[in-house]
């Protein structure tokens, strides 16, 4: 029995509720007149190869030092930035990536994120992928959560669930899995809802993978999908 993507989404939504992802500190940005989209960009880079709990510690350090703007990121010394983002791991690489990306946006777009994100999503994605240290997952996270473009984010959690559930795609490349979800969701939801559905679905899959469908010692007996899972068939 093949599980439909729409039924999977509805089941996860009923189980976990709305996730409201990507989390940003809206009060901070209102008080400091900064752009929450840049916090998402920072988080998308910091979350590479680490858990979100580690990213939260690094973001809190940056917030305390008011480094949530492009200008502040370009001006902060690398030594200081490395120290602030150390909890996220790989801080030497991530320091260079953050500094480079902030400088790139300043030079090419004058720091105007609206100008960058109002481009065609395919142009923006191609541009992001051309930059050092920005892979498909990072680029798509920026486009979806900061740019509100209908781009489905594929991560390790999504791949794991695709391998275990009887979906019509159970392997393949990042692009193949992404195309599958985007095609199925486009048939089930109107265009105006796709961005919000993509955001929720990605977050729901992460929640399922972290709480039940873990890489090691999955909690299959308690999982809300235990009647559907290939692992139990």
From first to last of its 233 residues, what are the pLDDT tens digits of the chain?
688 999 999 999 999 999 999 999 999 999 999 999 999 999 999 999 999 999 999 999 999 999 999 999 999 999 999 999 999 999 999 999 999 999 999 999 999 999 999 999 999 999 999 999 999 999 999 999 999 999 999 999 999 999 888 888 867 799 999 999 999 999 999 999 999 999 999 999 999 999 999 999 999 989 999 888 865 44
Query: According to the CATH classification, is domain 34-146 in 2.60.40.10?
Result: no
- CA–CA separation, 189 vs 196, rounded Å? 10
Q: Minimal CA–CA distance to 97: which of 42, 142, 53?
A: 42
Q: How far is CA 188 from CA 7, 15, 127, 164, in A?
A: 10, 20, 30, 23
CATH of 5-20+152-232, one of 3.40.50.1950, 1.10.1670.10, 2.40.70.10, 3.40.50.9100: 1.10.1670.10
In this prediction the pTM is 0.94
Determine contact, residues 173/158, Cβ cutoff 8 Å.
no
Q: Where are the domains of the chain?
A: 5-20+152-232, 34-146
């Amino acid at each position: 029995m093949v599980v439909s993507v729409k039924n999977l989404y509805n089941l996860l939504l009923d189980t976990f509720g709305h996730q409201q992802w990507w989390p940003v500190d809206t009060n901070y940005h209102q008080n400091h007149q900064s752009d929450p989209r840049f916090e998402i960009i920072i988080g998308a880079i910091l979350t590479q190869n680490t858990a979100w709990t580690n990213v939260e510690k690094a973001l809190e350090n940056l917030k305390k030092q008011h480094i949530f703007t492009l200008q502040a990121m370009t001006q902060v010394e690398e030594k200081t930035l490395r120290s602030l983002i150390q909890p996220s791991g790989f801080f030497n690489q991530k320091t260079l990536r953050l500094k480079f990306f902030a400088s790139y946006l300043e030079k090419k777009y004058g720091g105007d994120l609206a100008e960058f994100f109002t481009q065609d999503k395919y142009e923006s994605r191609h541009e992001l992928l051309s930059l050092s240290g920005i892979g498909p997952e990072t680029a798509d996270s920026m486009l979806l959560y900061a740019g509100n473009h209908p781009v489905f984010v594929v991560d390790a959690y999504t791949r794991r669930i695709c391998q275990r559930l009887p979906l019509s795609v159970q392997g393949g490349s990042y692009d193949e899995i992404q195309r599958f979800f985007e095609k199925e969701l486009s048939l089930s939801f109107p265009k105006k809802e796709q961005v919000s559905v993509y955001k929720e679905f990605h977050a729901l899959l992460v929640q399922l993978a972290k709480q039940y469908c873990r890489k090691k010692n999955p909690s299959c007996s308690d999982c809300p999908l235990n009647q559907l899972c290939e692992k139990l068939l």
